[in-house]
Structure formats: structure tokens, C-alpha cells
């Protein structure tokens, strides 16, 4: 249950954010003035060196012109950043809407709805980042649209009380409206980083290009490279300054969100437990530009945990140790108790097999079937099904004919396989067997499976969900066999997968083959349509991926 914050607390927080927004705007204008003045003056000197023109350079006039245009540009840039929609940033980060049919997502959706009632902020979007890292974030654009998101890994590691505390922390950011401030800062300061990266690329390209012609135009090459170097240094300084300001904003707001998050959920121990768990695990892979949006720095930087002037200046977030100390004082607990709780949960974390619904049992011209290295038959289609050895991929041949083909390629047999799959609610058909896929629950999330070849069709983001949960009861022998198979799969992709090309059962776009990762070496098919993003795993591939990754992630209790 969440509790509303006092009105005076909310008012003070919003006033602080308004002042910080004003200072941010002034900083932006100042940076633009400095940047464009240096740019114009240095450009004038470089141009004079190239043209060898006599006469003095009107520096005061250049400064007035640069100041005027840079101020106007800064104003437009700030207004543009404020006008950017929430969808833009969500797309850049790579989030997806939470799935109400997923057993891990549903509690998260419910908790955010509770936070809506406590904060009075309506229509908070509930999003999930498909990463097995552990982290959380909140976003708010200039129009007041907001979102609270977590990674798949976080949903698999935290219990409901801990997840509620994390949501309370992120809801406090929305109440303070500092999520809007930081979201705006990400849009603003990312420009300097992009300019710096582009100029760095131009500098390398220019050097490579002119090294070929340096004997013919060495002076021109040096002048042009000098201009780019000066601009690169200026943009780098601007990016460094904006990053420092962004870090300072992030550090202050995290302490305030911790305090007001606890006031909302009345559970400082759960928030301390969640921060402790996040700090001990992989936090995801997010560009540094967006790191200030998260509850904890995605990059596991040693500076974050140091307490010095230099570390405070260059770290995105306050030290976890300080945040935990404050929370544990409120909870009347200590770090050793927190460590004992975490170790106990790791020991008690039960392993279980993936939950899958049972497939329902089912039930002229004769056909020969290839079985056990020989042809058997002839049998009628019902007899072939009743004997239990025929699948859609079985090689068959009509009696008295030489036309051999897969069972699903025979018009008289395909309807029998399709009718055998009862209760299929998926609209997709197996790309291998051409029979309807069965929708079922696999470790709390919905997947589509072929009842014959045992392949899985996974919607975008589902594979990441399953990987992040790591709750599968695989035996040591199964994992050993999977690793032996993985070690035998080194080599070119074309020599390792002989399945024919297929189309996506969802959108009918072609599916490309690719290696899932260097760790697993499993070849999977993925839809080339970015709006679909479905993945097809042939029989046994999904289990192999999960076994190898879970084994790699196993860490003995107390090793950290």
C-alpha cells in the first residue's frame, strides 16, 4: 500500500525542480555562447591563415554576432528538448510495454497503478527494458507524460515488497518533477556528445584522406585538420561540463527520492534490500547519456563508491553505502542483517521446471512411411497417426508412387495434423510443420509452441524475459551435454545450420539466421521486421540457450 506525500513536501520538491530547470537553461545559454564564440573566433583565424588576407580581425563584432545567434539557438534548443515526446526517449532506450499476460509483469503493473492513486499522476506508462540486468528508471516529458520502467532482470530478482519500494522511489521522482528535468537534460546534453563524436570521426577521416595527398597539399591538410581539432576540443569541453552538471542533478535527486519513496511505502528495509541486490548484480548496458535516469548507475564504476571530491564530481549516483546507511537507520537495522537476508534468499531460491500446458490427445489411399532406416506400410492416414511414429516432417510416399515428400506437403495428410492440434489459440502456424501453434505459459510468459517439432515462436522481448528469470531445473548432466554441444559448434554459420529459410508466422516477413551469442553458439531465426522482432527456436534450441546462460550466471552464495 502506498501513502500520499504531504502537500508541503510536494510543493517544496517542485520548487526545487523549477529552480534547477532555470539554472539548467542559464547553463545551456552560457555553454552555447562560449561554444559559438570560440568556434567563430577560431574559425576566423583559421580562415585568415588559409587565405593570407591582410587586415585586423573584428573580434568584438564577431563576439556580438556569435552571442546573439547562440542565445537564439539555445532558446530554440531548450524549447525543442521540452517538446520531445516520451515515445522518443522510450524508443531510444529500447523499452517495451509491460505485458499483462505475463506473470512477472502483472504484479509490476498493479504496483504502478497503486502508485498512480497515491501520487495523483494519471496514465503512468508501465514499461519493461528487455535486459537481464537489474535496474529501474522513471521518465517524464515536457507535456507531463510519464513512465516507470524496470528491467526484466529486476522483475526476476525482487519480491513484491522490494518491487513496491523501487516503484515508490521512481514515483517520488515523478512527484518531484525531477524526472522531467533529467529527461530534458538528456535531450539537451546529448547534442554535445554527438557533435564531439562526429568531429572525432571527421578528424580521423581527414587524416586518412590527406595522408595520401600530403605531398601536394600539406598546408591545406594541416589547416583543415587544425580547425577540426579545435572544434573537437571545444565540443569535448562542452560535453564534459554538461555531463558534470547532469551528474550533480542525479546525485541530489537520488537522496530525495529515497527519502520520499520510503515515506510513500513505509518500508525502508525493502528499499535497502532492493538497492543492495541491484548493487551486487549486473545493472544493464545503457549509453552514458541516459545513466542518470536509472535508480543506480548501469555502469559499475568504482568512482560511485568512493567518497572524495574527485569521485563526487565524476560519479552519476551517490555511493550505495551512504544510501544504504540512511535507509538502514530508518529501518533500525544494519548491513550484516541485510547481507544475511540476501544470502538466505539465494539459498532458498527454488529451482523449478518450465510450466507448460499439456497437449491434448487426438486421432482410401495408403502411404508408406520412412521409419527406422526403412519404409513401412502401406497404412491409411488414421493408421499412421494411431501408430504414433508419424510427424509432419516424416518422409512419406503414396503407395505405388515414387513421389517422396514431407507429410505436411501431402494434401491428404496436412488436414489431419491440423485437426490433431486442438485448442490452439495462436494465429500463427509452425514454419516447419505447417500446423497451428499452441499458446501456452512458459515460466510465467506466453509463448507459442509446435506440438510436433517442439519449436518455439517467441514475440519480441520474450527471450530476454526467460533468460533473466533463471528458474529452470536442469540437471548437471543436461547442462554438461549442452556445453559439449556448444563447444562442437565453432565454425562458419553456413556450415552449422541446414534448416531451410522460413517466414515469420506473425507478419510473414523473412526470418534471418544468426547466432544468439558467442556464449551459447545457438543458431536461431529472427524476423527482419523491426516492428515484429519475433524469434523462432527449433526444438531444443531454447532449452540449450537457457541451460548454458543459467550455468554461466551461477555464483556461489557468499562469493561477493
String of DSSP letters for 63-95: HHHHHHHHHHHHHHHHHHHHH--HHHHHHHHT-
CB 36 within 8 A of CB 238: no
Q: What are phi and psi of 535, to 5 degrees?
A: -130, 135
Which band of pLDDT confidence, cut at 50, 70 and 90, is reported for residue 246? Answer: low
Most confident by average pLDDT, 72-76, 107-111, 152-156? 107-111
Q: Terminus-to-terminus CA distance in the chain, angstroms?
A: 33
More confident residue, 322 or 218: 322
**Over 70: is that where the pLDDT of 439 sits?**
yes
> If you average pLDDT over every residue of the chain, what do you get?
77
Average pLDDT over residues 386-393: 66
Longest dimension (CA), the chain: 103
Task: Decide the pairing of beta strands 96-97 and 125-129.
Answer: antiparallel
More confident residue, 79 or 345: 79
State the pLDDT at residue 430: 85
Q: How many CB atoms lie within 10 A of CB 292?
A: 24
Cα separation, 445 vs 442, whole angstroms? 5
More confident residue, 464 or 403: 464
CB 33 within 8 A of CB 64: no
Short-list 243, 252, 238, 254, CA closest to 288: 243
State the pLDDT at residue 355: 44
**Over 90: is that where the pLDDT of 116 sits?**
yes
Q: Which residue has the cell 537534460?
A: 185
Which band of pLDDT confidence, cut at 50, 70 and 90, is reported for residue 438? Answer: confident
Q: Which residues are catalytic?
A: 170
Range of lowest pLDDT (293-302, 437-446, 521-530) = 293-302
Cα separation, 538 vs 3, whole angstroms? 49
Average pLDDT over residues 340-366: 54
CB 553 within 8 A of CB 560: no
Average pLDDT over residues 366-378: 77
State the pLDDT at residue 161: 93
Short-list 460, 467, 462, 451, CA closest to 529: 460
CB 428 within 8 A of CB 457: yes
State the pLDDT at residue 168: 95
Contacts of 103 (CB under 8 A, 6+ apart): 441, 444, 445
**Over 50: is that where the pLDDT of 352 sits?**
no
State the pLDDT at residue 479: 82
Short-list 317, 303, 326, 264, CA closest to 137: 317
Amino acid at each position: 500500500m502506498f501513502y500520499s506525500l504531504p502537500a508541503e513536501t510536494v510543493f517544496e520538491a517542485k520548487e526545487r525542480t523549477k529552480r534547477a530547470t532555470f539554472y539548467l537553461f542559464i547553463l545551456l545559454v552560457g555553454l552555447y555562447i562560449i561554444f559559438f564564440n570560440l568556434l567563430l573566433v577560431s574559425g576566423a583565424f583559421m580562415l585568415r591563415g588559409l587565405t593570407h588576407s591582410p587586415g585586423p580581425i573584428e573580434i568584438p563584432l564577431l563576439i556580438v554576432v556569435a552571442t546573439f545567434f547562440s542565445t537564439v539557438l539555445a532558446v530554440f534548443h531548450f524549447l525543442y528538448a521540452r517538446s520531445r515526446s516520451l515515445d522518443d526517449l522510450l524508443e531510444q532506450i529500447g523499452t517495451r510495454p509491460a505485458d499483462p499476460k505475463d506473470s512477472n509483469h502483472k504484479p509490476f503493473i498493479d504496483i504502478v497503478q497503486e502508485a498512480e492513486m497515491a501520487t495523483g499522476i494519471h496514465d503512468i506508462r508501465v514499461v519493461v527494458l528487455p535486459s537481464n540486468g537489474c535496474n529501474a528508471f522513471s521518465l517524464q516529458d515536457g507535456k507531463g507524460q510519464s513512465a516507470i520502467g524496470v528491467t526484466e532482470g529486476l522483475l526476476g530478482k525482487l519480491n513484491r515488497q522490494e518491487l513496491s519500494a523501487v516503484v515508490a522511489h521512481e514515483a517520488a521522482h515523478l512527484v518531484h518533477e525531477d524526472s522531467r528535468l533529467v529527461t530534458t537534460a538528456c535531450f539537451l546534453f546529448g547534442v554535445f556528445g554527438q557533435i564531439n563524436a562526429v568531429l572525432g570521426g571527421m578528424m580521423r577521416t581527414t587524416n586518412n584522406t590527406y595522408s595520401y595527398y600530403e605531398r601536394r597539399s600539406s598546408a591545406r591538410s594541416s589547416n583543415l585538420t587544425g580547425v577540426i581539432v579545435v572544434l573537437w576540443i571545444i565540443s569535448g569541453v562542452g560535453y564534459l561540463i554538461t555531463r558534470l552538471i547532469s551528474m550533480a542533478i542525479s546525485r541530489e535527486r537520488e537522496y530525495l527520492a529515497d527519502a520520499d519513496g520510503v515515506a510513500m511505502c513505509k518500508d525502508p528495509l525493502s528499499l535497502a534490500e532492493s538497492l543492495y541486490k541491484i548493487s551486487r548484480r549486473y545493472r544493464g548496458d545503457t549509453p552514458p547519456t541516459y545513466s542518470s535516469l536509472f535508480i543506480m548507475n548501469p555502469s559499475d564504476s568504482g568512482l560511485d563508491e568512493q567518497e572524495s571530491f574527485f569521485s563526487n564530481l565524476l560519479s552519476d549516483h551517490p555511493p550505495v553505502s551512504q544510501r544504504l546507511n540512511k535507509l538502514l537507520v530508518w529501518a533500525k537495522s544494519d548491513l550484516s542483517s541485510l547481507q544475511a537476508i540476501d544470502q538466505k534468499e539465494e539459498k532458498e531460491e527454488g529451482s523449478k521446471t518450465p510450466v507448460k500446458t499439456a497437449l491434448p490427445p487426438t486421432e482410401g489411399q495408403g502411404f508408406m512411411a520412412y521409419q527406422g532406416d526403412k519404409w513401412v506400410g502401406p497404412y491409411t492416414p488414421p493408421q499412421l497417426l494411431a501408430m504414433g511414429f508419424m510427424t509432419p516432417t516424416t518422409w512419406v510416399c503414396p503407395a505405388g508412387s515414387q513421389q517422396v515428400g514431407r507429410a505436411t506437403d501431402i494434401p491428404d495428410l496436412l488436414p489431419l495434423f491440423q485437426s490433431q492440434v486442438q485448442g490452439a489459440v495462436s494465429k500463427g502456424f509452425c514454419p516447419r510443420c505447417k500446423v497451428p501453434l499452441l499458446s501456452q505459459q512458459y515460466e510465467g510468459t506466453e509463448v507459442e509452441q509446435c506440438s510436433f517439432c517442439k519449436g518455439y515462436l517467441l514475440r519480441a522481448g520474450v527471450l530476454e524475459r526467460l533468460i533473466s528469470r533463471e528458474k529452470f531445473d536442469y540437471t548437471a548432466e543436461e547442462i554438461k551435454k549442452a556445453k559439449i554441444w556448444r563447444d562442437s559448434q565453432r565454425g562458419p554459420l553456413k556450415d552449422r545450420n541446414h534448416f531451410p529459410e522460413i517466414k515469420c508466422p506473425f507478419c510473414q516477413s523473412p526470418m534471418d539466421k544468426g547466432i544468439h551469442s558467442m556464449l551459447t553458439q545457438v543458431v536461431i531465426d529472427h524476423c527482419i521486421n523491426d516492428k515484429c522482432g519475433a524469434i523462432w527456436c527449433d526444438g531444443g534450441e531454447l532449452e540449450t540457450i537457457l541451460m548454458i546462460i543459467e550455468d554461466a550466471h551461477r555464483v556461489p552464495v557468499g562469493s561477493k
